[in-house]
Amino acid sequence: MLDDMVDHLRDVRSRPVWQPLQTQTRATLRAPLPAETISPDAIYDRFRDTILPYATGNTHPRFMGWVHGGGTPLGMLAEMLAGGLNANLGGRDHAPIEVERQVIRWAAEAFGLPETAGGLLVTGSSMANFIAVLMARTAVLGDDSRTKGLNAARLTAYASAGVHRCVPDALDMAGLGSDALRRIPVGPDYRMDVAVLAETISADRAAGATPFLIVGTAGSVDVGAFDDLAALADLCARENLWFHVDGAFGALTALSPALRHNVAGMDRAHSIAFDFHKWAQVPYDAGCILVRDQADQIRTFTAATAYLTPGTRGLSANAPWPADLGPDLSRGFRALKVWFAIQAFGADRFGEVAERSCAVAQHLAARIAAEPALELLAPVPLNIVCFRYRAPAGEVDALNREIAADIQEAGLAAPSTTIINGALAIRAAFVNHRTRTDDADALVEAVLAAGKTRHDKKETRR
């Protein structure tokens, strides 16, 4: 199995990026509960036939959809070691917990947070943003809010119109309702309008609400834009609000001398959400919440129970436990693959991967600008390019949606789509460390060919 997977990663370029799961194959994955045992060899054969060829495709250098990391062979091996140890990182006194603490300290150092900082590895930035919302709630309403709930307080939070959907989801899950999030319009640079933000906060206060949280976006999913984090930090200080940064992928630009100007002010955040499974290429899943003062995290999540009381010696020593820092009790050894990656690649390499992704995006933007049949739909401040194949207004959205799917189904490349100012865009986000400029060229050729084929077909029908 190990040899096969190493070969599989080595030969990734020779395969289609993605292929649709055939009905027959899908059916075999919906078999009833097995009553008889199946030999590991036979199960592995099924894996090779029905799963291996039909995965997401994000290990492939021409996967450009959404925001997906590419993984590494070393990450795969670290996962194997973690599986063998089968450590439970909810708590107790053992080395794996020290590894997670080490990783958190490294991340806090990378982003310029002080010694008081803490954090936790989580599934992804969705969970990290949720934890941040709960910490901000406890900070504004006090510890009582954990037992008494909101007690008629009307909390309001603020984020850019380009905020990731997991932020309103986090407010929903926290019991505040997603309408508690005020979506502040962005300017032509796709950054939140700070003047409108300040006015909205004042209006909410005047109407009896309790503003408590500003979420700054560092790397928006649609175009890769950064809010003016320093201005948001100033406003939070003035208004006494929790300042959280959703830096799912963009936070790691802090590790690049060429890109770190984007996150100026992020080191003043109360909390930062980001992912190791995107630009840091750690295998899924590996997200992280960092908090400026670990005391804010402990007061939000710690709970006294006789069964889980940490002691002073033996296995029950070593508090606070990760279970006191987030919603999960039993937790796997996610930290090991992150610990391997940080040491094997070093902080500078993560910055270089981000720079390379941005260079590929600029290359693609230049190619599109030079192709009369294509047009850019948004600026390209980072690693994301939104564009389309030109066509008459009534047809252009549907055509581009079809082109994206055509290319995916042909296995040539895997862009995704989004809506930019009401127009459907083909969206290429460069995150995978394997992606080169010729992969962006391949996308251009594929879009032109698919667009022409669809156009010609239409002409024939007329």
Binding positions for ligand PLP, rule: CB under 6 A: 67, 124-126, 164, 166, 219, 221, 246, 248-249, 275, 287
In the complex, what is the shortest distance from the CB of residue 212 to ligand PLP, in angstroms, rounded to a whole number?
20
**Pick 164 or 270: Cβ nearer ligand PLP:** 164
In the complex, what is the shortest distance from the CB of residue 230 to ligand PLP, in angstroms, rounded to a whole number?
19
φ, ψ of residue 10 in degrees (nearest 5): -60, -40
In the complex, what is the shortest distance from the CB of residue 446 to ligand PLP, in angstroms, rounded to a whole number?
24
Which single residue brings its beta carbon nearest to ligand PLP?
Answer: 124
Q: How far is CA 42 from the centre of its chain?
A: 35
Instruction: Tell me if 216 sits within 8 A of 246, measured CB to CB.
Output: yes
In the complex, what is the shortest distance from the CB of residue 421 to ligand PLP, in angstroms, rounded to a whole number?
19
Pair of tokens at residue 243: 């300042």
**Pick 164 or 191: Cβ nearer ligand PLP:** 164
**Pick 204 or 275: Cβ nearer ligand PLP:** 275
**Pick 166 or 290: Cβ nearer ligand PLP:** 166
How far is residue 182 from each of residues 89, 160, 198, measured CA to CA in Å?
36, 8, 12
Sign of the dihedral defined by the CA atoms of residues 140, 144, 147, 152, in that order: negative
Instruction: Tell me if 399 sits within 8 A of 454, measured CB to CB.
Output: yes
Q: CA 258 to CA 185: how far, in whole Å? A: 28
In the complex, what is the shortest distance from the CB of residue 181 to ligand PLP, in angstroms, rounded to a whole number?
14
How far is residue 295 from each of residues 142, 174, 300, measured CA to CA in Å?
13, 20, 9
In the complex, what is the shortest distance from the CB of residue 139 to ligand PLP, in angstroms, rounded to a whole number?
21
**Pick 204 or 222: Cβ nearer ligand PLP:** 222
Please, where are the H alpha helices in 55-182? 73-85, 95-110, 125-141, 144-148, 166-173
What is the CB-side half-sphere exposure of residue 280 using CA atoms within 13 A? 35
**Pick 79 or 246: Cβ nearer ligand PLP:** 246
**Pick 65 or 310: Cβ nearer ligand PLP:** 65
In the complex, what is the shortest distance from the CB of residue 226 to ligand PLP, in angstroms, rounded to a whole number?
11
